[in-house]
Amino acid sequence: MLDLIVRILANFWDEILKSIADIFFNILDSIPVPSFVADLPNYASQLGGATYWLDVLNIGAGMGMIFSAYVIRFSIRRIPFIG
């Protein structure tokens, strides 16, 4: 009987967390992309030869990793008793 109650509560919390995540991602999807972000390919084409080195050094992937690391660090520091 206790096992049944634990499973019901676990499923209840899973559903609540899924609902919160869905709401969060819907809010993120509703935020429009700024115009300067949409114009980045035009700005990159104006750089000329510098884009070759950006591609060789894989700056795009590196910046993505750094940004995601900062987001994860920020998120972890908000968790009580951990950060």
Domain that holds residue 19: 1-31
What is the count of structural domains for the chain?
2
Q: What is the pLDDT of residues 53-81, one digit of tens each?
A: 878 888 889 999 999 999 999 988 888 77
The confidence score (pLDDT) of residue 83 equals: 55
**Same-domain pairing of 49 and 19:** no
The confidence score (pLDDT) of residue 63 equals: 92
Q: Write down the pTM of the prediction.
A: 0.41
Q: What is the pLDDT of residues 35-56, one digit of tens each?
A: 888 787 787 677 777 777 878 8
62 phi and psi angles, rounded to 5 deg? -65, -40
| Sequence-separated (6 or more) residues with CB below 8 Å from residue 47 | 54
**Same-domain pairing of 66 and 80:** yes
The conformation of residue 34, written as its DSSP 8-state character, comes to P
